[in-house]
Structure 1
């Protein structure tokens, strides 16, 4: 059984999170992606807490019991919003410096904070390397195979996609699980544990905005424009980092050559995980735990 959900209020969110371990322990925040939930860390959070770490596993904006504080807060899914949520969460919990682990949307938030506010990040485990979006160049076509893998993003650019996600969110997200983790035998059993998180009333709006903003098809939150401008410069990450890449990732399989290495200026290592798809911590909890402990104890 997961721990009881706790709440903390930030300027924009009532953040729901799961807490493991002593409050006096060195803090670790574990961040899920789309379309996933804190259940991705069920085998990792208890193992860290047993070693004395304070582990926080939040529901991102638009997921689970997390709610916006006001109707006028933009239901943005842009990378700057996810990063600001992470910083606000750390402030609300009085966490000055933290170890971060994230993949997909959560990895993006972690990479952005590590790049722009490195003094607050002890170390970073990132799924699939440098997750900061290069939005000014996003309109350039990619090779056809990659474009094919991004079909769902283009679907979300249309009114039909909005209605499809609204009506079929659980079936659509389950399909993405299957396509992105094609060799993961436990996916069908694990999916029902995360699916309720997608029933959040803001899920569709946040998801649609995320995939439109990254292609410059939707404006961002004006209050976060300064951060997006900083990210457009593709800032380097200097904190100690391990990148975990799934060799069988159906949306972005690991390339033979590390194309992200130039974005990391500190201690950095890339580990390609054989037989692992996109949902890295849930498919490969021991490899994820080892990466975190290698950084925390190294």
Structure 2
């Protein structure tokens, strides 16, 4: 199991992260973490190696909001709920080793395919293929409603962390706790338009690529190759094999995947419009609202994707809060690379 330490990263990524945070929040925030020393009972030893599990129980489907959501489920149906949210370009297999650990502790673990992934589909062909963050967060609230779940520990990374952050900020009564890889990722179109130094802009090369017609056509043609490159760049020390990648890559064959992906990044740069029904939500998110629910933020020591430094966002969490750096060459896909550390964070944040 990778060692967990509370030390901020240094070097080039720190410069990039500080710049990203300044663009997003209007300046770096002073860290004031309210660290909780109370932790749940550690996971039983010895822990299984990452990659031990390779499948889920049969995927379930449920109509929720504008979607027919595909999701994997593990654990007892009457247990406390953990809602685990994947990022781009990943899928629910990021949690294939996390789910058994939580299920063994009595949790009902729900792992949905986000819109544009796997077996999740739109109920109507007329619905806009909208990738804006508020739409994805609304999907997850609709999913909780459809499943009859009042609240859950919500945990995720990348798009999933952004979605979890939005849920915790705007619907705190639905979030019993929050685990967010790379911390506070709520942004706005105004923040996305702020130019960054060249070193920081370089990290967002794919965002600029998707802004062009050539980029959309290229992603459509080379979806799997593109995703595999992102995996390697974002997790340079993760030695995943072809079978691991292909299990997740199948989710990108969803007919709406390219549209959702491209719209998400174009919307964030102000190059595409969203849906008017989310305007009020976006106005609230543009104020960078604080999050009051119990939170643990996490970061891998080898994350090759753009991410802010913990000191830039610590003050956005006003409740019980702790940050954990996970060492051992852990990259962007932290739940799949360090499943025990991720599962332990879910257990710890849920401890009353």
Q: TM class, shorter-chain normalised?
A: over 0.9
Does structure 2 conserve the Cα–Cα contact (< 8 Å) formed by 1:33 and 1:102? yes
Does structure 1 conserve the Cα–Cα contact (< 8 Å) formed by 2:188 and 2:282? no
RMSD over aligned Cα atoms: 1.2
- Aligned match of 2:281: 227
- Aligned match of 2:58: 4
| Runs of 4 or more consecutive aligned structure 1 residues displaced over 4 Å after TM superposition | none
**Pairing 1:133–2:187 present:** yes
Measure how far apart 1:186 and its partner are.
Answer: 2.4
SS at match of 1:91: helix
**Pairing 1:60–2:108 present:** no
Equivalent runs, 1:168-247 vs 2, <5 Å: 168-186=222-240, 188-247=242-301
**Pairing 1:34–2:88 present:** yes
TM-score w.r.t. the length of structure 2 is: 0.82
Equivalent runs, 1:146-157 vs 2, <5 Å: 146-157=200-211
Q: How many residues align?
A: 297
CA distance in 2 between counterparts of 1:145 and 1:273 reads 25
TM-score w.r.t. the length of structure 1 is: 0.97
Measure how far apart 1:288 and its partner are.
Answer: 0.4
Q: Which has the higher contact order (CA 8 A, sep 6+)?
A: 2
CA distance in 1 between counterparts of 2:295 and 2:243 reads 31
CA distance in 2 between counterparts of 1:39 and 1:125 reads 18
Q: What is the CA deviation profile of residues 209-263 of structure 1, one whole-angstrom value per residue up to 9, with x for unaligned ones?
A: 00000111100111111111110111100100000112211112563x5211121
- Aligned match of 2:78: 24
**Pairing 1:258–2:289 present:** no
Measure how far apart 1:273 and its partner are.
Answer: 1.7
CA distance in 1 between counterparts of 2:287 and 2:123 reads 31
Q: Highest CA radius of gyration, 1 or 2?
A: 2
CA distance in 2 between counterparts of 1:250 and 1:64 reads 25
**Pairing 1:114–2:187 present:** no
Aligned counterpart for 1:49 among listed residues 103, 120, 144: 103
Measure how far apart 1:189 and its partner are.
Answer: 4.7
Q: What is the CA deviation profile of residues 24-48 of structure 1, one whole-angstrom value per residue up to 9, with x for unaligned ones?
A: 1111100000000100001111111
**Pairing 1:269–2:322 present:** yes
Aligned counterpart for 2:335 among listed residues 269, 281, 284: 281
CA distance in 1 between counterparts of 2:240 and 2:258 reads 26
- Aligned match of 1:161: 215
Does structure 2 conserve the Cα–Cα contact (< 8 Å) formed by 1:99 and 1:121? yes
